[in-house]
């Protein structure tokens, strides 16, 4: 198995099965935050937290889709 250097030292790279699992989890969490965003519009601080979390998870989903070579997914930093 290939190894990569990270800030914590040498680690094994994630395989596609693990990345796919992470993608599925990120989609579930993103959708939960989207639902929460709709439910808490009256509370400004909760709504702001929900928006931040939802947008962060959108980026996670896009990055994982890009890593799995999904068609039509641009580089995540674009």
> Domain ranges in the chain?
16-67
pLDDT tens-digit profile of 35-76? 999 999 899 999 999 999 999 999 999 999 999 999 999 998
Count of C-beta atoms within a 10 Å radius of residue 15: 11
Contact by Cβ (8 Å): 49, 42? no
Mean pLDDT to the nearest integer, 4-24: 75
Mean pLDDT to the nearest integer, 18-39: 95
């Amino acid at each position: 198995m290939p190894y990569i250097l990270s800030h914590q030292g040498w680690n094994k790279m994630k395989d596609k099965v693990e990345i796919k699992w992470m993608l599925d989890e990120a989609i579930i969490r993103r959708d939960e935050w989207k639902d929460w965003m709709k439910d808490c519009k009256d509370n400004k601080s909760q709504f702001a937290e929900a928006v931040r979390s939802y947008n962060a998870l959108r980026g996670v989903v896009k990055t994982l889709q890009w890593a799995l070579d999904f068609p039509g997914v641009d580089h995540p930093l674009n």
